[in-house]
Structure 1
Amino acid sequence: MSVLHGLSNGKDFQNLLSVYLDAVFFPFIHVTSDNERVYAQHLQNKLFPDHTYSVVSGGEPLAIPDLTWEQLKQFHATHYHPSNARFFTYGDLPLEQHLKQIEEEALSRFKRINPNTEVPSQPHWSSPREEHVTCSPDALAPDPARQDTLCVSYLLGDITDTFEGFTLSLLSSLMISGPNSPFYKALIEPKIGTDFSSVVGYDGSTKEASFSIGLQGMSEEDTERVKQIISQTIDDIIEKGFEEERIEALLHKLEIQIKHQSTNFGLSLASYIASLWNHDGDPVELLQISDSVAKFRQALKENPCFLQEKVLHYFKENTHRLTLSMSPDEAYLEKQAQAEEEKLQRKIQALSHSDRKEIYEKGLELLATQSKTQDASCLPALKVSDIEPTIPITPVQISTAGGVPVQYCEQPTNGLVYLRAMCSLNTLPEDLRLYVPLFCSVITKMGCGALDYRQQAQQMELRTGGMSVSTQVTPDSTQLDMYEQGVLLSSSCLERNLPHMFQLWRDIFNSPHFDDEERLRVLVMMSAQELANGISYSGHMYAMTRAGRHLTPAGDLQETFSGMEQVKFMKRIAEMSDLSQVMRTLPRIKKHLLNPDTMRCAVNTTPQKISDTAAQLESFMKEVADNRKERKPVRSNIIEVRHQQQRPLDPLDDSGLSRKLISPCQMKTFFQLPFPVNFVSESIRAVAFSHQDYASLCILARMMTAKFLHGEIREKGGAYGGGARMGGGCFSFYSYRDPNSVQTLSAFRKGVDWAKSGQFSQQDIDEAKLSVFSAVDSPVAPSRMGRFLSGVTDEMLQNHRERLFAVTHKNLVEVAERYLGVGQRTCGVAILGPENHTIKKDPSWIVK
C-alpha cells in the first residue's frame, strides 16, 4: 500500500502523485531483523499454512539470497500492475483532476491483465494444532525467569462479509478490552503473565479474519493452566453473555471515533478499507458504520443470545485453532548467525572463479552507483515560491476559572469538548521524579471516589472519549537551560456528557484510590512489559534521548521520564515483592501535581458550548480547591530573565518555568541488548527555537539526511534508516535497525565534513526547505488548535518561517562549522545493540 499523507498544498500533491505513480508502476529495479515480530510472523504463517500467508511477505532473510532478478521483475510485472491496484484519495482537492492524472500518467500506458492474485480460502482443519517456536532472551523483561508466550488463535470468517466482521470486532473488544472484560479478569488479574500476548484480539488484515488470545511474560510450567483458563473463559461467556452497560460503552466509543477528527483521518480510512477492498469486498458498505450499529442493535433486540451464539460457533466449536507457544533460547542469535554463515559458505563454495570475479565487479559497480549523485531533474518539483509566506492566526480567548488561567479555542469539533490541563512539577521533590510516569499511568486506572477501578473504567468508556495523564517536558523557546515540566491531563466527551466528565476528574483530584496493591502490581507489570517491548520499535528514540541527557536540563528530565533510565527503573519496580513503599509514594506525588495553584487549562469546542464549559470548569476548580497548597516562589528569576529579553510574558504561563544550570558534558553510553541490530545516536548541544541559527540547523538536518546520511547509513551501511534532526535545543544524528555501530558514528562525522565543504546545490537546499515546510505546515486537528503546550506564539512561528525562507548556502556552511565541528561541539553518544568487544575495550564508553 502506497500513501501520500498530510499534504496541504495542491501543487505538492500533484507532483508527489506523479512520483508515486512512476515509482509503483515504472520502477528501476536493482537487486541490491524483536521477539514480538518473530511471534506474530510465526502465528500467521502457521494459522494459514496452505497459501500466501504461510510465507514472510517482506522475504525471509535466509531465503532472499535465492531470489533472482528475473523472478523479482516478473513478480513486479503482475502484482504492481494497475489491474491489481486500488486508488483512494481523501481531502478537499477536486477528485476529477486526480483521476485525470492517474489515467494519463499510469493507466493509459497499460493493457488490462488478469494478475491472478486472488487469495484462496484456507482449508479448515478438522482438529486443533499446537506449535512451538524459540526466540532470543530479553534482558529487560520484567521477570527474567518468566519469558514464555502462549496464544490460542482462531480462524474466523471471510472479511468481505462486512456485518459479520463488524460483529466479530465488537465481540473481540467485549472479550479482551479493559478491566471489565472476561479475559482481562481471567488472564491478567491473576498475574500469570505480564500482559496479553503481542498478537491479541480481532485481526481483519487477511482474507479470512482471526482472533487471538494469550499471555506473554509467563512461566513455561503455566502453559496447561493458561490453555485451561482460555477454554473455561469461553464457556463462561457462552453461559453468561455480556452486561448491557458494557455493550453500550462500546457503542459510545464508536460514536466518539466517528466524530473525532484527527490529522490522519483520511489515511486511517484508507488503512481501514484496504484489506477488504483488496479482497473484492465493498468498501462503501464498510464505511457505513451507523448502519452496522443499527443492524447490530436490532440483532441483539431480536435475539438476546446473539453474541453468545457467535462465541459458541467461532470459538467453542471451531476446530481451526492454533496454540502457539514461544520460549527463549540462549543460543538463538548464535544459531541464526550460524545458519546465515553456513548458507553463505554453501553459496561461496558453489561459485566458479569467473562467478566470484563477476560478483566482485558488480559490488564495485553497486558502490559506485550508491556514491553517485542521482539526477533528480526529471522529477516534478514544487518551488519554494509555491509555499504560503504567512501562517494563519488561530484566535484564542484567555480567561480564568477559579483563579486558574484558561485558553478557550472555538473550533468545529463535531459536537465534542476537548479539555487539557497542564499541572506543574516545580514543587515536586527530586526523589519523586522517577515515579512520575508510573503515577501518570495508574492515576486514572485504580478507582476514585465511590468507584472501584472496574466501575471507573466503565464510566470512562460510557461518558468520555478517554481520560489520560502523561509527562510533559517543554524546552523554553528562548533559552536552552529553561524548560516547563509538568503532567498533561487530557480528555474529551460528547457535549451531553460534559458534567459526567468533570465529575470523573473531580473524583480523581479529590479522592483517588492508591490502596489496592494487587491492582497496582497488575498495572506495574503491564507498564514494564510495554516499555521493554517498545525498545525494538523505537530504539533510535531511546538512543537520541540518552545521547542528549547531559546537554540540556530538559534533556536530562526527558531521559528520567521516558528514556532507558525509566525502562530500567520500571523493571526494578516490577521485580519488587512488596509495593507498599511505591503505594506510599503515589499520594505524595498527587499532592504536588493535582493542585489548582500550579495549573493552566485549555478548552477546544464549538462556539455554542464555550460558556457552558466555562461554567462547569469554574465549578470544578472550586470543588477541588482543597488540593491547593501554599505557592512556592519559583518564578522570580525567570520573570527577570524574560523581561531582560523584552519577551512578553505568556498570559497562560502561570505555572512558571524551571531553570536548572548544568555543565554540558560529553558522555558515551552503550546499552547491551538482545537484538542483532544497533540503534545509534549522537546529539550536539545547539540553540533554542527563537535563535537566528535554528532555522538553518533545521534545513541542514533535512538536507544532510536526504543527500548524505541516507546513502551512507542505509544504502551502503545496510541500516533500516538513519538521518539527522534538529529539536529540543540539540542537533541529533541517529540510525535505526543498523548492522553497524562505530562505523555509523564515523558516517555522522563524514556528514559534518560534507556539510562544511559546501558540496551541495541550491536545488538540494530548496528540496530540504520544502521538506521542512511540509512538517511545519502539516494539518492540526481541531482538538489541538491554539498552541497550548509549546509556549511558542504565532509571532515567533512567523519569524521562524521567514528565517526558513531566508536560509542560504553560506548560512548552512556557517552553522555546520559553528555547531558541528569537532572543536566547537559538546556532544553525547549512545548505542543500543548486541555485544560489542570494540566498545567494551574502549575506556571512554560507559557500558550498561
Structure 2
Amino acid sequence: MRMTMQERRELEVNEVLHGFRVQRRVPLEELQGTLIQMEHETTGLKLIWLDRAEENKTFGIAFKTLPWNDTGVFHILEHSVLCGSDRYPVKEPFVELVKNSLNTFLNAMTFPDKTLYPVASKNNKDFINLMRVYMDAVLHPAIYRNPNIFRQEGWHYAFDEAGTPSYKGVVFNEMKGAMANADELLEDAMCQAMLPDTPYRFNSGGDPKHIPDLTYEDFIHTHRKFYAPSNAYICLDGNLDIDEVLGILQDEYLKDFGRTEPVHFPPKQAPVDGGSRTVTYEIAPDEENEPRMRIAWGGVIGDYDDREKLVAMHVLHSVIAHNNHSPLVKCILDRGLAEDVIVSVMDSVRQPYARIEVRNYAPENTDLIRTLIHDELNRLVKEGLDREELDSALANTEFIMRERDFGSYPSGLIYSFNILESWLYGGKPEANLQVGDIFEKLREKADQGYFEELLRAVYLDNDHRCEVIMEPSRRAGEERRKAEERRLRDEEASWDSAEKETLQRQERELQKWQEETDSEEDLQCLPHLTLADIQDMPEDIPTEVRDMEGTKVLVHDIPTGGILYVTAFFDITDRTEEELSRISFLTEILGKIATRRSTATDLLNRSRLYCGNIDFSTATFSKNNDGESYKAKLVATFSTLPKNLEAAVALVTEVLSETQLLDEEAVRNLLKQDRGDMQQQMAMAGHSLGLRRLTAMFTGAGVVNECTDGLTYYEWMKRQEENWDWTSFQNLLTEDLHRCVNPNKMMLSITGGTESDVQTLVTEFRNGLPSEEFEGASSEAEGQPAVRPWGARKEGIVIPADISFAIRGGDITKFGAQWNGELSLAARIVSYAYLWNIIRVQGGAYGTGLTAGVSGLTACYSYRDPKGAESLQKYETVGTFLKEFTDADPDLTGFIIGAVSESSRVLTPRLKGNGADSMYLSGRTYEDRCTERRRVLNSTPEKLAKYAEPLAKAIAEGGIVLVGGKNQLEAYGELDRVITV
C-alpha cells in the first residue's frame, strides 16, 4: 500500500525504498527542509530530494555530457529526445505538454558539461505526468527508429529547385545566431586557451562549421553511452509523494537497466598560460566606423568546491568594476580610451574562472589599455581596496543571496543548478544551497588583506590564464558564408548521382514525415489532465488602495520573508517622443552620478548597504482593446529590510530630487555604454526588437516603449553622440527630471511589511521630495497621452547575422474583434498547432508564435529563422488555419489547460506585487481576470471561429518588420525603409 503525503514518515539512512537506498539526510535550515540523498542500487542512478513544504514540485534528470568535438551532439540530443519515445510515440511530446499541461516550467538545457531535463508543476497529477514523459524521452527516445528526428533537429542537406544543396536544421540555425554573438566567441576562445585538455575547450552547443561533421551513427552511439541511468542524476524538490515517485522510477523505467560504466571527467586542467589570441567577430558591412576592439583577460580561480573564494570573487568584482566610478573602469574611462570595462565569474564549471574585459576601443590603444589595467590592479593590491566600498559590496551580495528571488523561475530549478554545480563533480550536493557563515568569515578576512591577495592571485600572478583580443570585421559574415558554400560545393562534387539521389530522397522523406499528423491513437498515449484538474479562478493578490497624506498608496499584504518591496510611480503620460527618450536615458544615469549632497561612489555604497536591488526605469500600462490610450510612468523600485527603510527612502528621494548633471564626461560615458549595450542586445534578440517596433505602429504604449527601450531610443542615443551639445543636453535633462519628480504625480506601492512600515514609507517619501510646484508641472495626477500609433509600415532592420527574425501583424480590433481570453486561446492554438509546424519544424527556425496583446495587437514572429522572407508569406495563412481547425470541431481541453497554465505562473512576492500594480494601473480588476478565465474555460470551436477572418485581415493589412542580415532582407524586397543597427 502506498503512503499518502499526509501519512508518510521520514526516510531513514540505509533504508531501501523501491530499489533506492537512502545514503544521507542533511537538514537545511535556511530552506526549511531536508536534503535526502539516495542511490538506485541496481543502476547506480543518483537522486536528491529537497523535502520541504513547497507546493511547486520540481523534477529534473541530468546526464554528465562531456563534448569531445564541436559538432554540438549533446545539444542536438537535447532537442531530439523530446521528439517522441517508445511509450509516447507522437512527433512532439514536448509541444503536446506545452499545449496540454499545467506546468510551471518545462524545458531542456545543454550546459558545457551536463544536459538537464527539468519540469515543474503545482498539480501533483500533472507533475507525475510530466515526469513520466521526460523519463521515457531520455531513456527510450524514438531517435533509434527514426533518423528524420536527427535530420530535423540537427542538420540535413536541403536542395533548391535547381538541385543546389544547403545545410538546414533547427540546432544548426540556432547556433548560427548564437555564434554571431561576440560574447559567445569570447567565451569559446577563453575556454580553448585556459582549458585546452578538457571538454570545456569545445562548444557544447555546436559550431555551425562543424555541426555537419556529425553523423547519425555517432549521434546514436553518443546517446547509448551517455544517456544511461548509471550516468544520471535526478533532482526532486517540494512537497511530493516520494513513495509514488520512486515507485514509478523503479517499476516503469529502471528495473530493466543494469549498471554500466559511468562517464568520468578527465583530470583537471593543469595550469597553462594560454597566451594571447585574436578572434574576429562580425559587424554589419555598412556599420559606421567606430572603435569596436575588445580585449579580455581570464584567470582560473580554483576548484568548484571553494565556495568562499567564488563568493569573494563576486564581491571583489563588485568593488573594482561595479560602475563607472569603480577604480578599474575609471582608469580607462577617464582617459577616454574605451566605452566600458566588464567583469564576470564563470562559476558553474569544474574549474571556475574570472574575466576582465575592456570593450569598444581603437586598435592603436591595445598596448596602453593592457598597461593601464595591469598597473591599476597592482595599485589596488599594493594600496588596498576601499573598505567602505568592500563592506557595502559584502552587505549587498549577502542580501541578494539570502533573498533567493529567482524571478519567474521555480526555486526547485535554481536549487537543481546549485546541487549539480557540486554534486556532478563529486562534491556534496548541499554545498551551494545555504549561505551559512560565509560572510562572517569574509568580513574577518577582509581585515587580513584577503581580497587584495585574491585579486593578485587571480589576475596578476596566475599561471593559469589567457588574453583574448576581439577584432571587428565587416567581412567576417561574408567570409563565413563563402566558406560554407565552398564546403557544400566540395561535398557535392564528391557525390555520384546515386549518392545525391539518396540525399534528395532523404530530404523528401523528412518533408513527408514533417507534414504527417499524429494519429489519435498515438496522441491518446500521452497522459492527459481534465478540466476538473485545474483551478477555476486565478490567484487574487491582495491590493488595498489608500489615500495617505494626499498620496495614493497600493498595499499588498503578502508574506515576503521579512523583505519590503517598494515602488514609486511618477506620471510621464503627457511626454513627447523626444522627451520620452531623454527620460529613459535619465533612468539609466540616476544613482550613477553625483547629487547635491553625495558623490556617485557614496550613492553606490549606500545603495548596497541599505537596499538589495534598486532600479530606475520607465513602464507603460494599457486598457483592454484600446490602442490609443495608455499610462506611462517613471518608476523607482527597491527592496530593503524594515530596519533600513528610512535610509533607503532617503537615498531614493535624494537621487530623484537632487541629482546634478554637472559631470559631462560621466554622462557621455553612460550614453555610450547604454547605446553599445543596446546594439548588442538588438542583434541577439531580434524578435523582441521587431515586436516592439510593430507594436508602435498600432498602439500609443508601443510608441512609448519604442522611445524608451527600442530602436527609436537607440537612434536617439546615436544622434546625441553625433551632435553632442552638452549645455543644451544638460539643461533639457535637468528640466525633464524636475518635471517628472512631482509629488502630486506620485503613487507608491509596498509589498510586505507592517502598518508602521507603510506609514514610514509615505512620510519619508513626502518629506524627501520637494514640496513646491515645479514650473510646467500639472496639478492633475495623470496627463493625457501625447503620442499616437505610427500606422502600418514595412521595415527592415539590418543586423550582423546569417539568420533573421520575421514579425508581421496588426490591430484585430479594426476588423470587428476584441482581445479577451478567447483570443488568447486562439493565439495559443495557432502557435502550437500550426506555426510550430510550418515555421519551426518544416522551416527550420528555432522558435515561432502568435502573440495577442490586450490592446488587440496580434502578431506572428519567428526566432533565428533561416528564411524570414518565406515566413512572412506563410503568416498570411493563419486565419485560414484557424477557420479549418475550428470547423473540424476539435476537443479544446488540452489547449484550455495549457492556456490556464500560461496565466498561472509561480511568482515571487516581488513579482506578485509588481503584477498587482500593473493590473491596477491598467484598470483591470480581479473580477476582470476571473471573467477572462471563465472565457477560456468555456471556449468552444464556434466561439474561436469568429476570430479567423479578423485575424487574417490584421495580418494581411498590418505591418511588417524583418530583422536580419542583408541577404535576408533582400530576399523579401518589399520594404518601405531599411535601418542598420
TM over 0.5: yes
Q: Which moved more, 1:525-534 or 1:444-453?
A: 444-453
What residue identity is the alignment partner of 1:193? A
Give yes or no for the alignment of 1:274 onto 2:420. Answer: yes
Name the counterpart of 2:869: 742
For residue 236 of structure 1, the aligned residue among 369, 379, 387 is 379
Distance 2:503 2:425 in 1: 41
Structure 2 counterpart SS, 1:166: helix
Name the counterpart of 1:610: 755
Give yes or no for the alignment of 1:781 onto 2:901. Answer: no
What residue identity is the alignment partner of 2:349? T
Give yes or no for the alignment of 1:416 onto 2:594. Answer: no
Question: After the TM superposition, which residues 162-561 of structure 1 pair with which residues of structure 2 at under 5 Å, given as runs?
Answer: 162-179=307-324, 181-196=326-341, 200-257=343-400, 258-262=402-406, 263-264=408-409, 265-300=411-446, 304-374=448-518, 375-429=522-576, 431-477=578-624, 479-561=626-708
Distance 1:107 1:579 in 2: 70
Over 3 Å counting, the alpha-carbon distance change for 1:562 and 1:322 in structure 2 is same
Distance 2:693 2:845 in 1: 20
Deviation at 1:97, TM superposition (A): 3.7
What residue identity is the alignment partner of 1:694? N
Name the counterpart of 1:640: none
Distance 2:474 2:776 in 1: 55
Deviation at 1:3, TM superposition (A): 4.7
Structure 1 counterpart SS, 2:276: strand
Q: Which moved more, 1:116-125 or 1:701-710?
A: 116-125
In the alignment, is the contact (CA less than 8 A) between 1:6 and 1:779 conserved in 2?
Answer: no
Deviation at 1:781, TM superposition (A): 1.9
Distance 1:310 1:256 in 2: 22
Deviation at 1:392, TM superposition (A): 3.4
For residue 155 of structure 1, the aligned residue among 300, 304, 315 is 300
Name the counterpart of 1:111: 258
Deviations 1:111-143 (A, max 9, x none): 222232414311222x451101111124797x7
Name the counterpart of 1:715: 841
What residue identity is the alignment partner of 1:828? G
Structure 2 counterpart SS, 1:406: strand
In the alignment, is the contact (CA less than 8 A) between 1:498 and 1:613 conserved in 2?
Answer: no
Structure 2 counterpart SS, 1:194: strand
Distance 1:480 1:741 in 2: 27
Deviations 1:726-785 (A, max 9, x none): 114211110111111220112212233211222686666333222221121112221233
Over 3 Å counting, the alpha-carbon distance change for 1:73 and 1:475 in structure 2 is same
Distance 1:504 1:633 in 2: 26
Over 3 Å counting, the alpha-carbon distance change for 1:103 and 1:256 in structure 2 is farther
Question: After the TM superposition, which residues 621-770 of structure 1 pair with which residues of structure 2 at under 5 Å, given as runs?
Answer: 621-629=766-774, 654-655=781-782, 658=785, 665-687=791-813, 693-729=819-855, 730-758=857-885, 765-770=892-897
Name the counterpart of 2:61: none
Over 3 Å counting, the alpha-carbon distance change for 1:622 and 1:201 in structure 2 is closer
In the alignment, is the contact (CA less than 8 A) between 1:137 and 1:328 conserved in 2?
Answer: yes
Q: Which moved more, 1:110-119 or 1:732-741?
A: 110-119
Q: TM-score under structure 1 normalisation?
A: 0.91
In the alignment, is the contact (CA less than 8 A) between 2:809 and 2:956 conserved in 1?
Answer: no
For residue 581 of structure 1, the aligned residue among 724, 728, 741 is 728
What residue identity is the alignment partner of 1:560? C
Distance 1:775 1:70 in 2: 38
Distance 2:894 2:576 in 1: 47
Structure 2 counterpart SS, 1:87: strand
Deviations 1:315-368 (A, max 9, x none): 322122211101122221111111111111222122222211211111111001
Distance 2:359 2:889 in 1: 53
Distance 1:497 1:75 in 2: 55
Deviations 1:143-164 (A, max 9, x none): 7320111111112212123333
For residue 771 of structure 1, the aligned residue among 873, 880, 898 is 898
Name the counterpart of 1:821: 952
What residue identity is the alignment partner of 1:70? E
Name the counterpart of 1:137: 283
Q: Which moved more, 1:355-364 or 1:748-757?
A: 748-757
In the alignment, is the contact (CA less than 8 A) between 2:185 and 2:279 conserved in 1?
Answer: no
What residue identity is the alignment partner of 2:702? G
In the alignment, is the contact (CA less than 8 A) between 1:149 and 1:325 conserved in 2?
Answer: yes
Structure 2 counterpart SS, 1:245: helix
What residue identity is the alignment partner of 2:186? Y
Question: After the TM superposition, which residues 559-574 of structure 1 pair with which residues of structure 2 at under 5 Å, given as runs?
Answer: 559-574=706-721
Deviation at 1:7, TM superposition (A): 2.8
Q: Which moved more, 1:57-66 or 1:538-547?
A: 57-66
Distance 2:859 2:117 in 1: 27
Deviation at 1:210, TM superposition (A): 0.9
Deviation at 1:826, TM superposition (A): 4.2
Over 3 Å counting, the alpha-carbon distance change for 1:192 and 1:83 in structure 2 is farther
Structure 2 counterpart SS, 1:271: helix
Distance 1:774 1:527 in 2: 36
Name the counterpart of 1:647: none
Give yes or no for the alignment of 1:146 onto 2:291. Answer: yes
Structure 2 counterpart SS, 1:289: coil
Deviations 1:154-182 (A, max 9, x none): 12212123333333333333333234533
Deviation at 1:574, TM superposition (A): 3.4
Q: What runs of 5+ residues in structure 2 fail to find an aligned partner?
A: 1-114, 144-148, 152-175
Over 3 Å counting, the alpha-carbon distance change for 1:808 and 1:4 in structure 2 is farther
Deviation at 1:816, TM superposition (A): 1.4
What residue identity is the alignment partner of 1:183? L
In the alignment, is the contact (CA less than 8 A) between 1:460 and 1:467 conserved in 2?
Answer: yes
Distance 1:783 1:694 in 2: 26
Distance 2:369 2:788 in 1: 53
Deviations 1:510-558 (A, max 9, x none): 3112111111112111111110110133210111111222212222222
Distance 1:798 1:255 in 2: 40
Structure 1 counterpart SS, 2:849: strand
Name the counterpart of 1:642: none
What residue identity is the alignment partner of 2:122? S
Distance 1:744 1:723 in 2: 11
In the alignment, is the contact (CA less than 8 A) between 2:628 and 2:788 conserved in 1?
Answer: yes
Distance 1:295 1:535 in 2: 42
Name the counterpart of 1:38: 185
Structure 1 counterpart SS, 2:615: strand
In the alignment, is the contact (CA less than 8 A) between 2:285 and 2:475 conserved in 1?
Answer: no
Give yes or no for the alignment of 1:63 onto 2:207. Answer: no
What residue identity is the alignment partner of 1:288? Q
For residue 925 of structure 2, the aligned residue among 788, 793, 801 is 793
Over 3 Å counting, the alpha-carbon distance change for 1:622 and 1:214 in structure 2 is closer
Q: What runs of 5+ residues in structure 1 fail to find an aligned partner?
A: 636-653
Question: How many residues align structurally?
Answer: 819
Deviation at 1:656, TM superposition (A): 5.8
Distance 1:87 1:191 in 2: 51
